[in-house]
Amino acid sequence: MTDFHNTGASKAPGEAGRDAATTTLATGALLAAFGVASCCALPIALGALGIGSAGLFGIAALVGPYQLSVLAAAVICLLGAAVLTWRQRHARACGAAGPCRRPILDRITQVALVLAFGLLALTFWMEPPL
Cα–Cα distances (Å) from 72 to 15, 21, 32, 129, in that order, read 27, 18, 9, 11
Judged against a pLDDT cut of 60, whether residue 2 lies above it is answered with no
28-34 average pLDDT score? 90
Name which of 130, 117, 126 is nearest 45 in CA terms.
Answer: 126
Q: What is the pLDDT of residue 92?
A: 63
Task: Give the model confidence (pLDDT) of 71-88 as tens digits.
Answer: 999 999 999 988 888 887
The reply to whether the predicted model has a pTM over 0.75 is no
Lowest mean pLDDT among 46-55, 82-91, 94-103: 94-103
Q: What is the pLDDT of residue 8?
A: 45
User: Are residues 54 and 82 in contact, defined by beta-carbon separation less than 8 angstroms?
Assistant: no
